[in-house]
Amino acid sequence: MLNLDKCEGLWLGKWRNRPDTPVQIKWTSGSIRLLGGVFGNIDMPLTNWKEGKRKFVETLQGWGARSLSFTGKVTVANSLATAKLWYLASVFTPPDSVMKEINTALFAFFWDKKREMISRNTIYLPPEKGGWGLIDIAKKAKCLYSRPFSDIMSQEDLPWVQLARYWLGIFIRRFDPSTWSNNMPHSPNAPPHYKALQSLVSELVEASPSKKWDPGCTTRSLYDSLLKKDAHIPSVCLNKRSVPWPLTFQSVQHPLLENRLKDTAWLVAHHALKTNALLCSNWGYIRSGTCPRQNCKGHETVEHAMWYCSEVLLTWTWVEGFLRRWVMSDFRINKQMVIYGILPPSWKKCKIDAITYTLAVARKRIWSSRCEALFDKTFSTHVEMVPYIKECLRSRIKLDFVRLNETTFMSLWCSVQWARVDGGKLRLRF
């Protein structure tokens, strides 16, 4: 039995202005809320997506006060914030104006409301291709909206498919002529919903490698094809030859590194640190691009800040000696190791792990000391940076001794002679 007090009727089309009430329920010519969306004689995509944008922004603002790493921000955006939008995306196409506001809020959250340093198309890429795997909301919305087209093509038994084929019959025979029959009615003019579906399906087919619609496609496969179409995959140039990002990101996104170390390594590899040279010459924010370290007058590019600065070179000299003593006797540090983290793949895994982690800790400390010199006027020499680096290494080894099983710990840290275990007790050798 219907509860008439909770029922609501909506006048549509030519009846939208009818004043009568045929059944004793609440009638309106405006809009009603149905299954989580607002439907009626309004701009439904705009109304619903504005509400979705509000929830999306509120979620980001709730997490924005926390000091999150890039990994944490991507997790919040992909798992929590965008969850407010996917139901809408399967029903309504997002208006361009709302999508622009959503992307603005998303990247303000990602960059802490500061200037964007790297192309958005790069950040959308997965980590192994130079990005962070942040979801491209506009592309994902297109895929979700287009996904029912596969059911229209193949699931004849579904009740709603025959209605959809009435509106799309002329369009879908381009992909599967067997669905066409002169014995079935077809409309030459589709309503707005199906016109939008036609447009998006055509775009997805153009982006696919086969230039055909795959009835077995998933939302993920559609999204990957769209992402690949507009991908901006970076590359680094060393000794006049291009080195692909996958090799670089074996180090930059090494699973042994904590999130903050990955952040710094990623920014350094992309040359996206806000150095004085960048702030001066590219943006004109400051007058001088000189290195802020004491007794250094060099032009502060990323390579200068991370390698050529005299105080930095002394720090790397110590790191080289430390690694030669404990990890590899013939180890030689160079600029490509520091900037891009590229190590010879032929080295043993345990040595690559130890060297990668040490370089990442030193890289983070060098950049932190540079920021302290600029903002706090605290100038750290290499003698003062070395104890910090050693303490970070000790702390990580102690932590892993507690959290890892004995076999994993021994292969990770004892194989490079940094630690040993005597009678269940940890002994550090430096």
| Average of per-residue pLDDT across 128-155 | 89
Q: Measuring CA to CA, which residue among 107, 102, 96 is closest to residue 56?
A: 102
Residues 59 and 158 reside in one and the same domain = no
Residues 178 and 115 reside in one and the same domain = no
> Is 205 contained in some domain?
yes
> Is 185 contained in some domain?
yes
Residue that the structure tokens 């932590």 belong to: 399
pLDDT in tens, 92-107: 999 999 999 999 999 9
Pick the last residue of a domain from 163, 184, 217: 217
The DSSP 8-state label assigned to residue 128 in this structure reads G
> Is 11 contained in some domain?
no
Residue 423, phi-psi category: left (phi > 0), alpha (psi -120 to 50), beta (remainder):
left
> Is 211 contained in some domain?
yes
- The range of the structural domain enclosing residue 408 comes to 241-428
In this structure, of 24-38, 67-81, 393-407, the range with the lowest mean pLDDT score is: 24-38
Query: Does the pLDDT at position 421 exceed 80?
Result: yes
Residues 202 and 256 reside in one and the same domain = no
Per-residue pLDDT at 71: 95
Which residues have C-beta within 8 Å of that of residue 147, sequence separation ≥ 6? 90, 218, 219, 222
Residues 308 and 162 reside in one and the same domain = no
Which residues have C-beta within 8 Å of that of residue 215, sequence separation ≥ 6? 150, 153, 154, 176
Tokens representing 392?
Answer: 């970070």
> What are the backbone angles phi and psi of residue 306, rounded to the nearest 5°?
-100, -15
pLDDT in tens, 14-34: 888 888 888 888 888 888 888
Residues 261 and 404 reside in one and the same domain = yes
Tokens representing 285?
Answer: 């924010």
Sign of CA dihedral 87, 88, 92, 97: negative
Pick the last residue of a domain from 85, 104, 131: 131
Rounded-to-integer distance, Cα 312 and Cα 295, Å? 12
Rounded-to-integer distance, Cα 304 and Cα 275, Å? 9
In this structure, of 31-45, 297-311, 327-341, the range with the lowest mean pLDDT score is: 31-45
Query: Does the pLDDT at position 216 exceed 80?
Result: no
Q: What is the largest CA-CA distance in the chain?
A: 92
Residues 195 and 308 reside in one and the same domain = no
Residues 160 and 45 reside in one and the same domain = no
Taking each helix axis from N to C terminus, what angle separates 245-252 and 259-269, rounded to the nearest 10 degrees?
A: 150
239 pLDDT band, cuts 50/70/90, is: low
Residues 252 and 393 reside in one and the same domain = yes
| Average of per-residue pLDDT across 292-299 | 90
Per-residue pLDDT at 237: 66
> Is 138 contained in some domain?
no
Rounded-to-integer distance, Cα 228 and Cα 22, Å? 54
> Is 171 contained in some domain?
yes
Residues 334 and 365 reside in one and the same domain = yes
Tokens representing 241?
Answer: 């030859």
Q: Do the Cβ atoms of 385 and 366 come closer than 8 Å?
A: yes
pTM of the model: 0.89
Per-residue pLDDT at 397: 95
Tokens representing 165?
Answer: 């084929």
> Is 162 contained in some domain?
yes
Residues 211 and 360 reside in one and the same domain = no
| Average of per-residue pLDDT across 186-208 | 86
> Is 104 contained in some domain?
yes
pLDDT in tens, 47-66: 999 999 999 999 999 999 89
Q: Do the Cβ atoms of 38 and 46 come closer than 8 Å?
A: no
Helix intervals (H) in 91-231:
96-110, 120-123, 137-146, 148-154, 159-172, 192-207, 219-229
Per-residue pLDDT at 181: 75
Residues 306 and 401 reside in one and the same domain = yes
Which residues have C-beta within 8 Å of that of residue 342, sequence separation ≥ 6? 238, 243, 247, 248, 251, 336
Residues 262 and 327 reside in one and the same domain = yes
Domain count of the fold of the chain? 3
Total Cβ atoms within 10 A of residue 11 = 17
Query: Does the pLDDT at position 86 exceed 90?
Result: yes
